[in-house]
Structure 1
Amino acid sequence: MTDAGLTVFPFWLLMLMPLMTAERLLEVVVARRNTRWAMARGGVEFGRGHYPVMVVLHVAFLAGIVVEIAVTSRSFVPALTWTALAMVVLANLVRLWCVRALGPQWNTRVIIVPGLPLITHGPYRWLRHPNYVIVMTEGIALPLVYGAWTTALLFTVANAALLAVRLRAENSALRLATGQ
């Protein structure tokens, strides 16, 4: 399809954004349920101060993609779009694997339940923080599905700064949980 000489995005591809938003909202529901589960078992939250910043950053990320799509006239570049879309799908499959591996211990917050062993199966067999690799991948790939490279760049830089804080909080929590 073309519009004034530009190749435009297939309409169905625009449905990805509402799907990604719905996924994030579902994650919030699961995280709240898991927070109640953890707190009922004596869970302790770490790094509470950065959590509101993380929420704002992730909402701004999704909104930034939509705004960049609306205000720019980026062409549909099939090779970039399909590669980025494949990365988004793969990242989300691995995210589901992480959620499944952690079970009720999965959360968007850093909460440690004293006495529970570290999860060392699923993707945690190979990486200590696989979900953060997923977030970084998706932070680049999802905007690039639409050619929204400005959002990809801004989110990646802001997310790297946030992850530095979050990883310190999570690693401290894990050290305390394992007695190291």
Structure 2
Amino acid sequence: MNRLEWGILLFVIVQRVGECWLAERHTRWMKKRGAVEFGRRHYPLLVLVHALLFVGMGVECLVFGATPPAWWAIPFLLFVLAQGVRIWCIRSLGRYWNTRILLIPGQEPQVKGPYKYIRHPNYLVVIIELICLPLMLGAVVTMMVVSALNALVLFRVRIPAEEQAWSEWTHYEEWMPTRRM
């Protein structure tokens, strides 16, 4: 792996650590206000999928010699655009942004920023990242395996759990009637 590849990986790792720190800070703030966590049992699956991303890319690049394709700039640009949407998501939700499903009694869904247009823009960002990051490095097997696992966890477990929590605790369908995903 060259310096650019290491730099990209280091950037993403630092970003993930920062997001975990921010999520933990938001968790403490929300729990002080009576937040209840939903989907706690599946949360380790999400962490595992993200860990597999880095392990898979490392194995493909360092052991099997995967190298960036000539068109690496395309997934790189999509990745950068996704980062802009991620920042937009975090800023739009403020202290309510989290990696966990936490709801405060009486809390209503935030429908600003990208949430005006789709229900789960942050998950769309994750999908794009899990495709683009390994593609940038030529780690095609990692991209396929991790993306498939992520899709299973997101669409079979995570999003249904989040939708159910919101529906049980709020007037979610009134707030999000035409937004999908």
TM-score (norm 2): 0.90
Letter in 1 for 2:55: A
Counterpart pick for 1:33 among 25, 30, 39: 25
Q: Which runs of 5+ in 1 are unaligned?
A: 1-8
> In the TM superposition, what are the counterparts of 1:1-180 in structure 2 within 5 Å?
11-79=3-71, 81-163=72-154, 164-179=156-171
Greater Rg over alpha carbons, structure? 1
CA–CA distance in structure 2, aligned partners of residues 67 and 73 of structure 1: 8
CA–CA distance in structure 1, aligned partners of residues 15 and 143 of structure 2: 19
The 3-state SS of whatever aligns with 1:49 is coil
The 3-state SS of whatever aligns with 2:42 is helix
CA–CA distance in structure 1, aligned partners of residues 68 and 121 of structure 2: 31
Q: Does the 8 A contact of 2:67 with 2:139 survive in 1?
A: no
Runs of 4+ residues over 4 Å off in structure 1? none
Letter in 2 for 1:117: E
How much identity, in percent, do the aligned residues show? 38
CA–CA distance in structure 1, aligned partners of residues 94 and 68 of structure 2: 39
CA–CA distance in structure 1, aligned partners of residues 140 and 3 of structure 2: 20
Q: Give the deviation of 1:127 after TM superposition.
A: 0.4
CA–CA distance in structure 2, aligned partners of residues 74 and 30 of structure 1: 33
Q: Give the deviation of 1:67 after TM superposition.
A: 1.6
The 3-state SS of whatever aligns with 1:78 is coil
CA–CA distance in structure 2, aligned partners of residues 14 and 52 of structure 1: 26
Q: Give the deviation of 1:78 after TM superposition.
A: 2.5
Farther off after superposition, 35-44 or 112-121: 112-121
Q: Which runs of 5+ in 2 are unaligned?
A: 173-181
Instruction: State the match for 2:178 in structure 1.
Output: none
